[in-house]
């Protein structure tokens, strides 16, 4: 009996050294894996195409603009993702034609265009690149029950691997402030994780699966 206990204890020690543990444990390793599973579903860092469809035209001046479309379009041209050609467009009011610019997709832009990735209500397209990676889990709250579900809020640091060169263009970073925030240093973010029978899961994946 004693011999069996010694063997069992030794086996448990070896498993512990090998990193054994339950996926349901609340620890940094499990939380990092759960957050990474969610980040792996993202298309990378994305910048919205400032129009519903490609190619698109914009009035050079005097048109109504709520999303800084001319600045974004010019930045995408500077980055080599779009081309610009002078044209005429119908004025917003009346039937007259006024100076405008037609923007079209380049071969380089085709490599990064992702349908519906802008994240806005219209599901506009976006140019995306790089891969989000969890760098470190800083801290987390003790798991607590909420509406019958055990959750924990986690603060973590991330980085973007393999960001394409166009994301470093000053014009892109000026027109899309989220780009320098994501690709510079190790920014932080928060995640709410949910305990499931298969381990911890990001709340957005949990909801997507019907949770």
Q: Is the pLDDT of residue 109 over 90?
A: yes
pLDDT at position 90 is 86
CA distance 150 to 141: 11
pLDDT computed for residue 20 by the predictor: 57
**Lowest-pLDDT range, 33-42, 55-64, 102-111, 129-138?**
55-64
pTM beyond 0.75: yes
* 3-state secondary structure (DSSP) of residue 136: strand
Q: Which of 14, 24, 39, 23 is nearest to 161 (CA)?
A: 39
pLDDT-based confidence at 9, cuts 50/70/90?
Answer: very low
Residue among 169, 141, 176, 175 nearest 155 (CA)? 141
φ/ψ of 102, rounded to 5, equals -100, 130
Contact 34, 200 (CB under 8 A): yes
The pLDDT of residue 122 is above 50: yes
Structure tokens at 145: 């029950």
pLDDT-derived band at 39 (thresholds 50, 70, 90) equals: very high
Residue 8 pLDDT grade (very low, low, confident, very high; cuts 50, 70, 90)? very low
What pLDDT shows up at residue 16? Answer: 44
């Amino acid at each position: 009996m004693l011999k069996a206990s010694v063997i069992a204890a030794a086996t448990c020690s070896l498993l512990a050294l090998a990193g054994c543990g339950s996926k349901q444990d609340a620890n940094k390793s499990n939380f990092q894996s759960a957050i990474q599973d969610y980040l792996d579903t993202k298309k990378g860092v994305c910048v919205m195409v400032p129009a519903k469809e490609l190619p698109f035209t914009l009035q050079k001046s005097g048109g109504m603009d709520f999303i800084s479309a001319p600045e974004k379009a010019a930045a995408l041209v500077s980055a080599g993702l779009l081309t610009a050609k002078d044209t005429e467009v119908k004025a917003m009011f009346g039937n007259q034609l006024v100076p405008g610019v037609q923007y079209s997709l380049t071969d380089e832009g085709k490599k990064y265009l992702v349908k519906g990735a802008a994240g806005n209500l219209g599901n506009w397209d976006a140019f995306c690149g790089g891969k989000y990676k969890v760098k470190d889990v800083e801290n987390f709250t003790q798991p607590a029950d909420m509406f019958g579900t055990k959750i924990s809020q986690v603060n973590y640091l991330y980085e973007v691997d393999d960001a394409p060169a166009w994301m470093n263009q000053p014009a892109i970073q000026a027109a899309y402030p989220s780009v320098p925030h994501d690709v510079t240093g190790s920014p932080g973010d928060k995640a709410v994780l949910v305990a499931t029978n298969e381990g911890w899961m990001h709340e957005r994946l949990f909801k997507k699966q019907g949770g």
